Amino acid sequence: MTLISRSPVRISFGGGGTDLASYYEKYGGVVVSAAINKYFYTILEIRLDDRIQLISSDLQVHQTVRDFYDLKLGKGLDIPVAVLKHFNVQRGLNLFMASEIPPGTGLGSSGAVTVNIINIINELEKLKLTKQEMAELAYKIEFHDLGMPIGKQDEYASAFGGINFIQFGKDGSVEVEPIKIPKEVKVRLESDVMLFFTGRTRESSMILKSQDNSTRDDKGEVIESLHAIKELAFKVKKAIESGDLIEFGGLLDEAWQSKKKLAAGITNPKIDRAYQLAKDNGAVGGKLTGAGGGGYMMLYCERSHQNAVTKALVNEGLSPLDFHFDKKGTSIIN
């Protein structure tokens, strides 16, 4: 038997940083997030023996063990190992993992990886987990079991798909509200949001740890910036619902100015120069999609200015990425 699962990565329109436990457990967090049609894939094949073979195309690592009891953390494949151990999957299998987006690019790939493997085990074992349960379990495995310094939005964005307003309660509860967008506005939003790859970041964990520590220590500038980012997320939701996309673009710019205050390393001279060039050539506003330090730059730019912006950023060494919004979230595709 062979199963194939895919789960989307995401872009965050607002509220990023308020989904860290150090913030939402004190103040509650909100995020406006959109899943896009760049997917993480997992292929699972049942074996006739007890051996387990894990292969990651993106990381170019593999692990083959005699049986379930020989699975080890610390070999570069901690997420699939942790998921298999959580579900106590004691049968032979091959698990092949590959993504359309490389890891470490600010699009929530680790959350998509974890959700996707949970989804395929959910199908294999006929567990009937809901998307809410899969998202919460993915976060638990990454944050609690593996100690990854992550927020909580990526798992929910990947599990549910669509464009959502996600609220994180002080008690850890999560409410996912699909944003109601008129069709013509959604078409414009999809057309006018642009993504450019600035370069892979290896600093995201350090940036998130620094931000997390500052939040736990109640450092004034960081807390004030996160409060501002949270308020902007409500305004982003309202702008999208009303179809005021120029306002939406301006809010992205405001959020970026606040985000840069959260930790050292979020931006650098290359990113600052590229962002200013984009604005000089007609982009209304934008931000980096992940923790910072690299990854993808998201811009709101009306179509009449997109050629000029693309030319300017390509000349700076950035690469454009075409995308559409994903509607389904995590799914079995065979």
- Model pLDDT, residue 205: 66
Residue 332 domain-assigned (yes or no): no
The tally of domains found in the chain comes to 2
One-character DSSP codes across 49-71: SS-EEEEETTTTEEEEESSGGG-
Q: Do residues 6 and 131 make contact, with C-beta atoms less than 8 angstroms apart?
A: no
- Model pLDDT, residue 102: 83
Alpha helical stretches, state H, the chain: 21-27, 78-87, 109-124, 131-139, 153-160, 183-192, 204-216, 220-242, 245-259, 269-280, 303-315
214 in the same domain as 202: yes
Global pTM value: 0.94
Which residues are 52's β-sheet partners? Answer: 65, 93
Structure tokens at 147: 């100690």
136 in the same domain as 76: yes
Question: Of 125, 151, 180, at which residue does a domain stop?
Answer: 180
9 in the same domain as 83: yes
- Model pLDDT, residue 103: 82
- Model pLDDT, residue 138: 98
pLDDT per residue of the chain (334 residues) written in tens, 0 to 9: 899 999 999 999 999 999 999 999 999 999 999 999 999 999 999 999 999 999 999 999 999 999 999 999 998 999 999 999 999 999 999 999 999 998 888 899 999 999 999 999 999 999 999 999 999 999 999 999 999 989 999 999 999 999 999 999 999 999 999 999 999 999 999 999 999 999 876 556 677 777 667 677 666 888 999 999 999 999 999 999 999 999 999 999 999 999 888 877 888 999 999 999 999 999 999 999 987 788 999 999 999 999 999 999 999 999 999 999 999 999 999 8
Domain limits for position 166: 2-180
258 in the same domain as 173: no
Residue 270 domain-assigned (yes or no): yes
Active-site hit among 67, 70, 154, 280? 154
Residue 328 domain-assigned (yes or no): no
Residue 58 domain-assigned (yes or no): yes
- Model pLDDT, residue 221: 86
171 in the same domain as 63: yes
- Model pLDDT, residue 147: 93
Residue 3: closest CA among 96, 89, 135 = 96
Compute the distance between CA of residue 15 and CA of residue 233 in angstroms, rounded to an integer. 5
Cα–Cα distances in angstroms (integers) from residue 100 to residues 88, 104, 190, 200, 210, in the given order: 29, 13, 19, 14, 29
Q: Is 154 a catalytic site residue?
A: yes
271 in the same domain as 198: yes
194 in the same domain as 108: no
194 in the same domain as 166: no
- Model pLDDT, residue 212: 67
Q: What is the CATH number of the domain that holds 79?
A: 3.30.230.10
